[in-house]
């Protein structure tokens, strides 16, 4: 196990994105002595409004920069105890349209970070990955676990699989103290409204239809983002070096069922559903067996899908300014206003 100093300094990559920003909220609120450097390139998916409340916090530093920038990454990695790596291109549909940025950030960016961690004397490294690296399940197949063979099928999942292999290679070859987590689909506050759940909620509030790909019977295992953040917290403190942990939400749902549940919550009817052309190579089902992290580290999801979805719908209703600024593109000016005065 990694010896955890009582006050840790973390380099969070991709901390202005959906899960990374929730993780920063979690760490700064849970550990009063921890310090965070957030390295984020502020692509379309990065939004500093997610972290507004920490702007004047001495324990929190934001650096706008690219994880492929070797000099910057080396300098930042040398200043911290651990790297928690979230930064990625994360949207499957975008990877189908153009996958170059996926290979660059997800593969080369991860390699740049690993190499910096090695050169800084083998720094502790946690890599956040996805269940999509395992491919697609049939209806009756058992859920993915840590021993499922890799079988990525989209440019996104292939680039994440490449990054996972590099992380494992740095453990085996260089003894880099790594852990990896492969989690299922997250949802919750600050979720970028190009992804299914926030897209449904925000479209319905704006009285726009919901695009359902194909028959809508594809299944995902939904994980409330704060449960995911707790799991990463436990792994970085108690995880066994060199190990992979699968993190799931215990909530397998077809897309159509999710859409109908949100229609009910927002008092809309099924005329708002619009079946559109299916995604190319659409993975049918993802599901996670999280027995390993439950048995070895004592983690399991605490938020049921019903509770999590209600919390999420409520958050989007109460934070209309946040998602309207994202949908209009206004949020991209926030950085300029805050940091380039």
Query: Which of ligand NAD, ligand TYD, none sits in contact with 284, Cβ below 5 to 8 A by type?
Result: none
- Kindly tell me the number of DSSP H helices and DSSP E strands found in the chain: 13, 13
Comparing CB distances to ligand NAD, the nearer of 40 and 268 is 40
Comparing CB distances to ligand NAD, the nearer of 130 and 218 is 130
- List residues bridging with 85 in a β-sheet: 13, 127
Binding site for ligand NAD (CB under 6 A): 13-14, 16-20, 40-43, 45-46, 66-68, 86-90, 105, 109, 128, 130, 160, 183, 185-186, 192
Comparing CB distances to ligand TYD, the nearer of 193 and 239 is 193
Comparing CB distances to ligand TYD, the nearer of 140 and 277 is 277
Q: How far is the CB of 311 from ligand NAD (least distance, A)?
A: 16
Radius of gyration of the chain (CA): 19
Q: Are strands 219-221 and 252-254 parallel, antiparallel or unpaired?
A: antiparallel
Count of positions (residues) in the chain? 341
The full DSSP string for 274-309 is EEEPPPTT---B--B--HHHHHHH-----S-HHHHH
Query: Which of ligand NAD, ligand TYD, none sits in contact with 213, Cβ below 5 to 8 A by type?
Result: ligand TYD
Residue closest to ligand NAD, measured at CB: 17
CB 100 within 8 A of CB 24: no
Q: How far is the CB of 190 from ligand NAD (least distance, A)?
A: 8
Tokens of 197: 């759940």
Q: How far is the CB of 124 from ligand TYD (least distance, A)?
A: 28
Comparing CB distances to ligand TYD, the nearer of 127 and 220 is 220
Q: How far is the CB of 92 from ligand NAD (least distance, A)?
A: 10
d(CA 64, CA 66): 7
Binding site for ligand TYD (CB under 6 A): 92, 185, 195-196, 199, 211-213, 218, 220, 255, 279
Query: Which of ligand NAD, ligand TYD, none sits in contact with 157, Cβ below 5 to 8 A by type?
Result: none
Cα dihedral: 12, 18, 23, 29 (round 10)? 120
Query: Which of ligand TYD, ligand NAD, none sits in contact with 312, Cβ below 5 to 8 A by type?
Result: none
Cα dihedral: 308, 313, 315, 321 (round 10)? 150
Query: Which of ligand TYD, ligand NAD, none sits in contact with 43, Cβ below 5 to 8 A by type?
Result: ligand NAD
Q: How far is the CB of 24 from ligand TYD (least distance, A)?
A: 22
Give catalytic status of residue 156 as yes or no. Answer: yes
Give catalytic status of residue 245 as yes or no. Answer: no
The full DSSP string for 217-257 is --EEE-EEHHHHHHHHHHHHHHPPTT-EEEE--S-EEEHHH
Contacts of 329 (CB under 8 A, 6+ apart): none
Query: Which of ligand TYD, ligand NAD, none sits in contact with 48, Cβ below 5 to 8 A by type?
Result: none
Comparing CB distances to ligand TYD, the nearer of 44 and 213 is 213
CB 112 within 8 A of CB 98: no
Catalytic residues: 131-132, 156
């Amino acid at each position: 196990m990694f010896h955890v100093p009582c006050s840790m300094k973390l380099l969070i990559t991709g901390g202005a994105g959906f899960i990374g920003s929730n993780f920063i909220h979690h760490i700064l609120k849970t550990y009063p002595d921890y310090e965070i450097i957030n390295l984020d390139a502020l692509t379309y998916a990065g939004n500093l409004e997610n972290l507004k409340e920490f702007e004047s916090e001495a324990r929190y530093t934001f650096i706008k920069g690219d994880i492929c920038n070797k000099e910057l990454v080396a300098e930042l990695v040398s200043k911290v105890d651990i790297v928690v790596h979230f930064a990625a291109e994360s949207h499957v549909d975008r990877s189908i349209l153009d996958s170059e940025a996926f290979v660059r950030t997800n593969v080369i960016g991860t390699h740049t970070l690993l190499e910096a961690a090695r050169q800084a004397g083998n720094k502790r490294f946690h890599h956040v990955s996805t269940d999509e690296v395992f491919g697609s399940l049939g209806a009756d197949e058992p859920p993915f676990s840590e021993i499922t063979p890799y079988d990525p099928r989209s440019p996104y999942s292939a680039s994440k699989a490449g990054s996972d292999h590099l992380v494992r290679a740095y453990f085996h070859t260089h003894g880099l103290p790594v852990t990896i987590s492969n989690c299922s689909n997250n949802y919750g506050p600050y979720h970028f409204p190009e992804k299914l759940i926030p897209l449904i909620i925000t479209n319905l509030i704006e009285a726009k239809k919901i695009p359902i790909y194909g028959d809508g019977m594809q299944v995902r295992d939904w994980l409330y983002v704060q449960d995911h953040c707790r799991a990463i917290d436990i792994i970085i403190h108690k995880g066994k070096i060199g190990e992979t942990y699968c993190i799931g939400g215990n909530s397998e749902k077809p897309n159509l069922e999710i859409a109908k549940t949100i229609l009910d919550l927002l008092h809309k009817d099924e005329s708002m559903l619009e079946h559109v052309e299916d995604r190319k190579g659409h993975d049918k089902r993802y599901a996670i067996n999280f027995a390993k992290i439950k048995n070895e580290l004592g983690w399991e999801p605490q938020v049921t899908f019903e509770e999590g979805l209600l919390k999420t719908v409520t958050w989007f209703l109460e934070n209309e300014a946040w998602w309207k600024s994202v949908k209009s593109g206004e949020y991209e000016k926030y950085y300029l206003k805050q940091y380039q005065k």
